[in-house]
Chains A and B, each alone.
Chain A
Amino acid sequence: MRRHPRNGLDRTLALALSAAILFIVANSFPFLSFEMKGQVTQTTLVSGAIDLYQQGKAELAVLVLLTIVLAPLCQILLLLYVLVPLRWNKVPWQLPDAFRLLRHTQPWSMMEVFMIGILVAIVKLMDMANIVPGLALWSFVLLMLVLTGAVASFEPEAVWERLEKRS
């Protein structure tokens, strides 16, 4: 516990902006490619969720989509929604609700767990085929680090303090 926030909000804002860029890259480029006997299957980050849905496992598709795409996206958007107006000394609309949503989203963002899942899948297929990581995979790794940093450095107390100083 600390009485005064240690980090400025600017650092969190910088990290959140980088996370937004990395998120776009991670979702628009090939994630993993699978090469076997000349046949190539290319996947993106959301391919797994789409295929699960097509196999009639909609619950799993939603769970995967939520934990690796929607929750991180929600975190990035909420951080930007709060921090960008504050940078120019404006109070975002419905600020407390944004905080609440951010707090409830956090446990459902599971990018680091997904990394282990990738590792397990790659090892399973290693003997069978050639797995080639794509650009999206690398930006996903960076996104995980940057977003974790942004969320960890974000202290709602700092925002409350700034607001109380204003009024």
Chain B
Amino acid sequence: MGAAGEALVSAAPGTALAAGCATCHDCGLLARLPGHGAHGARCSRCGAELHLRKPRSLERTWALVIAAALCYIPANVLPVMMVTSLGQVQSDTIMSGVIYFLVSGMWPLALIIFIASIFVPMLKLGMLTFLLISVHRGSNWRPVERTRMYRITEAIGRWSMVDIFSISILVALVRLGNLATIEAGPGAVFFGAVVVSTMLAAEAFDPRLIWDRSETRST
């Protein structure tokens, strides 16, 4: 019996896990694992390695969430964009971009930037941390809602890229020599790192872990 199987053998009856079966991550075929929880088994249809659960899901998700949280601070403090016009340099952080739109009366855009660049990353980090802690504690609190929460973290992460895309367009468009140029700031690099690592974190998390613990508890 493999290490992965050992940790999970206390599965509830009636699940694929209890029957020694796993669905292939790649083609979705339900396959019986040769030895319960054995390593190195491969899908008979597409040849992908079979796992009962994503391997080392919690450790990998934690690592990526912590990395994202660390990058989130410089992403918000450092300037994401520097506008040089007539020799004067003006630095913009994410928040000052939001305030700029708000002050100039374009609140729908202020709202878009605020949601995409500030609210979504925070929400995503908060939700993933909550899911990780709840799985560690073996919580059986509302698994359906928690699974839905996971689906949300998977879907919303990409929208944080809005600010980076708009900077990339501004950088290319505004190059008027001495008159005005726009440059991407160091904050944008950290912000990109936040987006990438939260996306990888959502991918690393295995939502079935939510159900494993709650099903073992309730039986």
- Residues of A whose CB lies within 8 Å of any CB of B are 32, 34, 36, 39, 41, 43, 47-52, 55, 57, 59-60, 63-64, 67-68, 95-96, 99-100, 103, 107, 110, 113-114, 116-121, 123-125, 131, 156-157, 160
Contacts of A121 in B (CB 8 A): 165-166, 169-170, 173
Is the Cβ of B161 less than 8 Å from the Cβ of A117? yes
Nearest-neighbour CB distance to chain B for A25, whole angstroms, equals: 19
B177 to chain A: closest residue by CB? A39
- Residues of B whose CB lies within 8 Å of any CB of A are 26-29, 45-48, 101, 106, 109, 112-113, 116, 158-159, 161-176, 183-184, 188-189, 192-193, 195-196, 199, 203
B24 to chain A: closest residue by CB? A96
Q: How far is the CA of A43 from the CA of B170 in the complex (A)?
A: 10
Contact of A117 among B29, B162, B189, B199 (CB under 8 A): B162
Interface of A, helix, strand, loop or mixed by DSSP: helix
Q: How far is the CA of A49 from the CA of B192 in the complex (A)?
A: 13
Contacts of B165 in A (CB 8 A): 48, 64, 68, 110, 113-114, 116-118, 120-121
Q: A60-B184, A64-B168 are in contact. List 15 more A-B contacts (CB 8 A).
A: A32-B169, A39-B176, A47-B172, A51-B168, A51-B172, A57-B184, A57-B189, A60-B167, A107-B158, A107-B203, A116-B112, A120-B162, A120-B163, A120-B166, A156-B27
Contacts of B167 in A (CB 8 A): 60
20 pairs of residues in contact across A and B, judged by CB atoms under 8 Å: A41-B175, A41-B176, A43-B169, A48-B165, A48-B169, A51-B171, A51-B172, A59-B189, A60-B167, A67-B161, A96-B26, A107-B203, A110-B158, A116-B162, A117-B166, A120-B163, A121-B165, A121-B173, A123-B101, A156-B27
Contacts of B199 in A (CB 8 A): 107
Name the 7 nearest CB pairs between A and B, nearest first. Answer: A117-B165, A48-B168, A96-B46, A47-B172, A121-B169, A120-B166, A34-B173
Is the Cβ of B168 less than 8 Å from the Cβ of A52? yes
Is the Cβ of B176 less than 8 Å from the Cβ of A60? no
A60 touching B173 in the complex, CB below 8 Å, given contacts A116-B112, A120-B113, A160-B45 = no
Nearest-neighbour CB distance to chain A for B119, whole angstroms, equals: 15
Is the Cβ of B116 less than 8 Å from the Cβ of A116? yes
Is the Cβ of B171 less than 8 Å from the Cβ of A48? yes
Q: How far is the CA of A64 from the CA of B191 in the complex (A)?
A: 13
B106 to chain A: closest residue by CB? A123
Contacts of B47 in A (CB 8 A): 96
Q: How far is the CA of A99 from the CA of B188 in the complex (A)?
A: 33
Nearest-neighbour CB distance to chain A for B78, whole angstroms, equals: 12
Contacts of A157 in B (CB 8 A): 28
Is the Cβ of B48 less than 8 Å from the Cβ of A64? no
Contacts of A36 in B (CB 8 A): 176
A39 to chain B: closest residue by CB? B176
Q: How far is the CA of A47 from the CA of B165 in the complex (A)?
A: 12
A157 to chain B: closest residue by CB? B28
